[in-house]
Amino acid sequence: MKFHKNHYKWNTFLDLRNDEKNFLNSSVILIPIPYDGTASYKSGARHGPSAIINASSELEYYDIETKKDISEAGIFTTPEISPLASDPKEMQLKIINTIDNLKLKNQITGILGGDHSVTIGSVKSTIKRFPNLSILYLDAHADLRDTYMGTKWGHASVARRLKSVCKVVQLGVRSISYEEINFISKSKSENEIFFWEHTKNNLQKNIDLALKQLSDQVYISIDLDVLDPSIMSAVGNPQPGGMNWEEINFIIKQTAKKHTIVGFDVTELNPKEGPESCSFTAAKLIYKLIGFATEKNKNL
């Protein structure tokens, strides 16, 4: 069975033609998940994946920083994982099963969200292929609540759920509740969370401290609200005082230099909340992640 682009609508990242015959030879598998069933403030992240893919067609293939053609990495965009309106836990199980069924080997997966809850399913599938996985979690919020709005599987509990799966190192946090602060001290995980106001002034030193705690195989989870609203206002829960473009690039580049990036996600783009440039910024962030993650030369 061959799905000709002339007959089917199947939008792809960078508008590249998917090579279905060589699916398993692609080095990066992008999986759009238009789900925002757990949004609490402003819903609309379901429109994130299509906005990212549309904006990506405006990117130049050539990347100045890594001096290479990003499209040559071998990028395959799957069809969207359709959302379930039932229990958020069912949605996570669906994400795990759908990704498992792709029968991937060493490919890098990149999830296009969707609200941040999609990370739970994505990580739970990825860790089956990479048992020594650890997570670099970039988010303005701590996401360490045990439950929020009646569910344990929502966007405000993602880091808490993942901490029972593997090591999670959090960078960029600038909003946290008392409940979460208490959880951190009870679980003695103070050294796994870096508040942005303490981190940004000595970025190299703090990144080194954060990265030292990660295993070789790293999954980078990005909630776009980790960026400053001046460059990324199109998110469900904006928070002032965030990372700029150079800082997030630096963090990803340093991670790629010292570790192997085996998976990533970019979540919470809510296109109607901001200018079109936000979708483009999200697309370029994915492009940079692909560039760094597939870079064999560690002298980046």
- Separation CA 169–CA 215 (nearest Å): 11
Q: Is 223 in the site for Mn ion (CB under 5 A)?
A: yes
- Give the nearer residue to Mn ion in terms of CB position, either 42 or 258: 42
Can the peptide bond before residue 114 be classed as cis, meaning omega within 30 degrees of 0? Answer: yes
Q: Is 141 in the site for Mn ion (CB under 5 A)?
A: yes
Q: Is 180 in the site for Mn ion (CB under 5 A)?
A: no
Size of the site for Mn ion (CB under 5 A): 4
Q: Is 36 in the site for Mn ion (CB under 5 A)?
A: no
- Give the nearer residue to Mn ion in terms of CB position, either 40 or 213: 40
205 close to 248: Cβ distance less than 8 angstroms: no
- Give the nearer residue to Mn ion in terms of CB position, either 192 or 225: 225
- Give the nearer residue to Mn ion in terms of CB position, either 80 or 223: 223
Q: Report in angstroms the alpha-carbon separations of 149 from 22, 39, 45, 142, 146.
A: 43, 10, 18, 16, 10
Q: Is 225 in the site for Mn ion (CB under 5 A)?
A: yes
Question: What residues are paired with 269 via a beta bridge?
Answer: 235
What is the DSSP track for 156-200? GGHHHHHHTTS-EEEEEE-B--HHHHHHHHHTT-GGGEEEHHHHG
At residue 261, the 3 state secondary structure works out as strand
Stretch that binds Mn ion, among 38-46, 158-166, 177-185, 219-227 (CB under 5 A): 219-227
Question: What residues are paired with 169 via a beta bridge?
Answer: 136
Stretch that binds Mn ion, among 14-22, 188-196, 205-213, 217-225 (CB under 5 A): 217-225
Q: How far is the CB of 63 from Mn ion (least distance, A)?
A: 27
- Give the nearer residue to Mn ion in terms of CB position, either 39 or 91: 39
Torsion of CA 100, 102, 108, 114, to 10 degrees: -70
- Give the nearer residue to Mn ion in terms of CB position, either 223 or 228: 223
Stretch that binds Mn ion, among 119-127, 134-142, 176-184, 277-285 (CB under 5 A): 134-142
- Give the nearer residue to Mn ion in terms of CB position, either 13 or 148: 148
Q: How far is the CB of 140 from Mn ion (least distance, A)?
A: 5
Q: Is 139 in the site for Mn ion (CB under 5 A)?
A: yes
**Exposed/middle/buried for residue 182 (C-beta within 10 Å: 0-12, 13-18, 19+):** exposed
Q: How far is the CB of 24 from Mn ion (least distance, A)?
A: 34
b/e sequence 276-290, b meaning 16+ C-beta within 10 Å: eebbbbbbbbbbbbb
Q: How far is the CB of 300 from Mn ion (least distance, A)?
A: 27
At residue 102, the 3 state secondary structure works out as coil
Q: How far is the CB of 175 from Mn ion (least distance, A)?
A: 8
Question: What residues are paired with 19 via a beta bridge?
Answer: none
State the residues that interact with Mn ion by CB under 5 A: 139, 141, 223, 225
